[in-house]
Amino acid sequence: MNDFEIEITLRQRQSLGAVGIEQLNDMQLQTLAAFRGGGDIVVLSPTGTGKTLGYLLPLLEMLHEDISSVQAVVVLPTRELARQVADVWKMMATGFKAFCLHGGRSVNEEIASMKGAVPAIIIATPGRLNDHLSRGTFSVADAKVLVFDEFDKSLELGFKEEMETLLSHMPASVRRFLLSATDSEELSRFVSSPIFTKLDFTDVVEKPQERTAYYLVQTTQKERLDALASLLCLMRGESAIVFCNFREMVDEVGSFLKKKGISVIVYHGGLEQKQRELALYKFKSGCSPVLVCTDLAARGLDIPDVKHVVHYQRPVNEESFIHRNGRTARWSAEGTVYIFHIDGGRLPEYVSSDTPCFNLAQPIPMPVAPFWQVVYIGKGKRDKLSRGDIAGFFMKKGGAKSDDLGTIVVYDRYSYIAVRRGRVKSLLAAVANEKIKGMKTIIEVIKS
């Protein structure tokens, strides 16, 4: 039961049902109550506590169907976070349109997609949003709420100036709604007045670390890569995120593990947008159970059911350590954190000297092949293709059963579907030369 109760509207309940949530947590309920009280709001809450719904539900409450202009603006520091929030909004099936704007694609393409359609919500990264406002693509004169999600991450990535510029474009009356995993002096500088509501959930009763087991992986510099491969094999295909500090190390580790026969995907800021989308898709869908990455994946991304976090390289500070660990033991789940420790080195202060060592001196099993494989489809949203169209195509034309098909995502120009490994060959043979929704297109396995 929640300690805090508040009435949820019928519209909100319907949207919660659409995303499969029956009950809100205290943070979400208190945030909704604070929103109804008026004024600016600052919410401090750890990673994995449901901050996205914490502000999307209040926004849903304030939207009006008879207003044909932008009513709310949501700002996030990275394109992945922006797309993620846009996906959640779409899943909520609110009936209100939202546009997602971010770098990595043409501004003119975004402008063309918005022609003749004014969304109720704009979800965007700071630089791209300012670009559109300076061009006059749309007006925010009627916007009632401005949300800064992952505020501390935005500061960390150097977006303070862009966010200040954005404030100059917004109407003076706009309510400001800031959400952050950590506190800082800058938070109070971005609200519109000295009087605002501040909700602090950074010391929640049920802390993720209480559901997390911690281990040291004692090794030498020379044997570190082999120790990592052994550790991942012992996880027997369970989902794991391996953190490194630099892009070059991510690529090196990923390449080594692939040679060992372990299914991995790499993720860092040096990849092209399409590569990053594929990496996250493969990991979320279970097509690659191991994600090797920089701290780019330590914050904000909605990656459910991560069983293990591995600090292959020591994080730069305790805050980074906490955020990395926040990828596991989310909500009520349990998780395990492994900290690589080189013989002769000193443990950082934030790692307990009582942390037990994980035993690698045991029979190491062979790498487990993922249950799913990724199939690429060369059509997407611009071709009016939906997830239902794709599932229906494989069932009708290929004879697939529902348990043969996994996660489906549809992007603007292409789509991915996870197919049970043992059925990929026969399914692709069955749909060869078939048209999907009357369209001829490429349908093939993504092997790398």
Quote the CA–CA distance of 27 and 228 in Å, as a whole number.
37
User: What's the one-letter identity of residue 335?
Assistant: G
Q: State residue 331's pLDDT score.
A: 59
Quote the CA–CA distance of 287 and 266 in Å, as a whole number.
13
Q: State residue 3's pLDDT score.
A: 54
Quote the CA–CA distance of 375 and 278 in Å, as a whole number.
11
Q: Which DSSP string do the residues of 188-211 spell out, in sequence order? A: HHSSSSS--EEEE-TT-SS-GGGG
Residue 133, Cα to own-chain centre: how many angstroms?
A: 26
Q: State residue 193's pLDDT score.
A: 76
Q: State residue 205's pLDDT score.
A: 42
Q: State residue 206's pLDDT score.
A: 47
How big is the CA angle at 189 (ends 187 and 194), to the nearest 5 degrees? 100
Q: State residue 21's pLDDT score.
A: 87
Quote the CA–CA distance of 282 and 265 in Å, as a whole number.
8
Q: Which residues of the chain have pLDDT under 70?
A: 1-5, 48, 204-210, 300, 302, 304, 330-332, 448
Quote the CA–CA distance of 62 and 65 in Å, as a whole number.
10
Q: State residue 368's pLDDT score.
A: 93
Does the reported pTM lie above 0.75? no
Residues 400, 394 contacting (CB under 8 angstroms) = yes
Q: State residue 1's pLDDT score.
A: 41
Residues 368, 237 contacting (CB under 8 angstroms) = yes
Q: What is the per-residue burial (b if ≥16 Cβ within 10 Å, else e) of 23-49?
A: ebbbbbbbbbbbbeeeebbbbbbbbbb
The predicted-structure confidence for 72-127, as pLDDT tens digits, reads as follows 999 999 888 898 899 999 999 999 999 999 988 889 989 988 887 889 999 999 99
